[in-house]
Chain A
Amino acid sequence: MKFSKDGKDLLSEEVADDQIEIFTDYYDIDPNDIEIEEKRDAINSSINRLKRAIRKGQLEITMGEDGVIKVVQSLHKDRETKIEYKEVSGQAKLEMGKRTAMDQHGRMYALLGSLSGLGVTAISKLKGIDNSISECLGALFLLV
């Protein structure tokens, strides 16, 4: 996956919209179902951030040949290292249970760590753009 150069996006808005739709359709989630306005706005903000990432080639959401969703983040630092987040499962959510209810960020990172197979520490070490993208993904994964 190439990254955008010279500030120009690699992919169109339509492609980004389609890929986000793959995610929302697969998990049957609709941000409009969120009753709390602040939270709904935060989710929509995350979605917009992810659309930008898709257009820049930093994120890709597709359906695998086996019919299972594939979410792949390409790290900005070397543009070759990829993190693949597998389908959300109960086991991944159990990892969140190892954190207290007040530790929202810890719970998000536990979920991301489990879905990526990297563990919470590696995910929490992501910086800058990579951290931003992973947290936006985490916000959506938490809706599942």
Chain B
Amino acid sequence: MSKDVAGSILKVTLDGITFDPFSDTNISEVGSAFENESVPTAGRNMKKMTKRAENREGVVIAANGSERVILRDLADRTTDFPMSYETAAGDVYRTTGWIEFENRETEENRASIQMHPRTKWEPFLSS
């Protein structure tokens, strides 16, 4: 069972390469595989389920010049690669997919990426 611990992301791994997330990184995890809505009728409501990608956004990692090159190369790939991240609770989530390398801010070498799964994320929960 997962622990009731929240806080910093401890590690981000992209294609086997580990990156250090900033301690204030707050990853936004899309909640579920479907976006659910209600479609009212004169009687009962219809549940409308729209498939969506379970992306991870707001991933901010430290990237020096070399790491920036690695991130760019990863983002420019046409093949999927394994990705994972570890939460403060020790839970690890992994998938195979690609990243969107949004930008790097040079003042603190903050690189912002999104992680896009080909299918879904698989949890390795701490115990």
Given A91-B16, A95-B18, answer yes or no on A121-B10 (Cβ-Cβ < 8 Å).
yes
Chain A: which residue is nearest B12 at the CB level? A119
> Which residues of chain A (72-117) have a CB below 8 Å from chain B?
81, 84, 86, 89, 91-92, 94-95, 98, 113-117
Q: Using a Cβ cutoff of 8 Å, how many contacts connect chains A and B? A: 63
Q: Which residues of chain A are within 8 angstroms of B83 by Cβ–Cβ distance?
A: 117
Measured CA separation A122–B83 after assembly (Å): 12
Q: How many residues of A contact B (CB 8 A)?
A: 20
A125 within 8 Å of B (CB atoms): yes
Q: Which residues of chain B are within 8 angstroms of A120 by Cβ–Cβ distance?
A: 11, 18
Question: Closest Cβ of chain A: how far from B20's Cβ, in Å?
Answer: 10
Chain A binding surface SS class: helix
Chain B binding surface SS class: strand
A118 within 8 Å of B (CB atoms): yes
Q: Which residues of chain B are within 8 angstroms of A119 by Cβ–Cβ distance?
A: 11, 13, 18, 84, 86, 92
- Please state if B16 and A92 are interface contacts (CB–CB under 8 Å): yes
- Please state if B90 and A95 are interface contacts (CB–CB under 8 Å): no
Q: Which residues of chain B are within 8 angstroms of A115 by Cβ–Cβ distance?
A: 16
- For the complex with contacts A86-B82, A114-B17, A117-B84, 4 further pairs of A-B residues with Cβ separation under 8 Å are A118-B94, A119-B11, A121-B90, A122-B84
